[in-house]
Amino acid sequence: MAGASDDHSTAKLWTLVGGIASVLSILAWLGVSNAAELKNLLADSPPPSSSSAPYVSSPAVHISDDPETTEESADDPDPDPDSEPSTPTPDPTEESFEAVSAGDCLAVYDTGRGGTTSIAWSAAVPPDPVSCADEQAQVQVTATDTACPTGQGKSYWSYRSATTGDTTKLCLTRIYHAAYCLLGQQSGNLISLGLMTAVDCRREPVPAPYNQIMRITGVYRAPAGANANNCLQTAGDRTRYWAAVVDDGATLLCTTIYEGN
């Protein structure tokens, strides 16, 4: 029985030696040469359930293959591929003014209802042009959208569009026809002619501050120093004339007070 016990003890010893040899092999593979280094290694190792750094979720970033693509906010709705760019509402009055060209003649005139300081045109928008030789022609357009010249028988007509904010301007020169009438403002023997006005020769009353209807007796080439004496029809003509020199001194306009005949 003693021999069997010795054999069993010997086997246990060799088993222990084999275990120690395995441990030493593992320590050598880990680079540990003694128990202190093994302790430090175990102390520096993180717990199995922990992570060496907190995990932060990164937002997904989409990179387009198209270099022309720009980043858009996620809050912006996608454009409707079927939609078309909106166009401003047209302004018919502005279009009527823009349709007028320099050289056109128009059948419009000052009604006199704006007094002597402003003009009240006979139409809300420019009508279609007429022949400048036609007796309906009352003004000729000399220029558009520019600083208009001033002088006897000259004025302008402008319109500012509330739709586009643009202003269209027509520079006008009055056309006079013999036997037609215009308005006058009389004070004593002096009569100031409303040179942009036109009026029915039989219309009464006249708009204030005008107080006379003046009949055009003639439209002539103005001589040097032209005045009312150049309006006399004959050598013995006793008619009282009131005259104005218009068209930058080129035209003599002769008028009389309309008497109804």
Amino acid symbol at 109: Y
User: Distance of alpha carbon 37 from its chain centroid, rounded?
Assistant: 84
What is the edge-to-edge ordering of all strands in the sheet holding 251-257?
190-193, 181-187, 212-221, 251-257, 242-246
Radius of gyration of the CA atoms of the chain, in A = 53
171 DSSP β-pair partners: 143, 156
The residues near 38 (Cβ < 8 Å, ≥ 6 apart) are: 27, 30, 32
User: What H or E segment, with its residue span, contains residue 220?
Assistant: strand 212-221
Task: List the structure tokens of 231.
Answer: 């309006």
Q: Please work out, in degrees rounded to the nearest 5, the angle formed at the alpha carbon of residue 184 by the alpha carbons of 178 and 185.
A: 165
Q: How many CB atoms lie within 10 A of CB 141?
A: 20
Closest CA to 155 of 175, 137, 170, 133: 170
Amino acid symbol at 119: I
pLDDT computed for residue 70 by the predictor = 42
pLDDT in 10s for each residue of the chain, 261 residues: 545 555 556 555 556 655 555 655 555 555 555 555 555 555 555 544 434 444 444 444 343 444 443 444 445 556 566 666 667 788 999 999 999 999 999 999 999 999 999 999 999 999 999 999 999 999 999 999 999 999 999 999 999 999 999 999 999 999 999 999 999 999 999 999 999 999 999 878 899 999 999 999 999 999 999 999 999 999 899 999 999 999 999 999 999 999 886
pLDDT computed for residue 39 by the predictor = 55
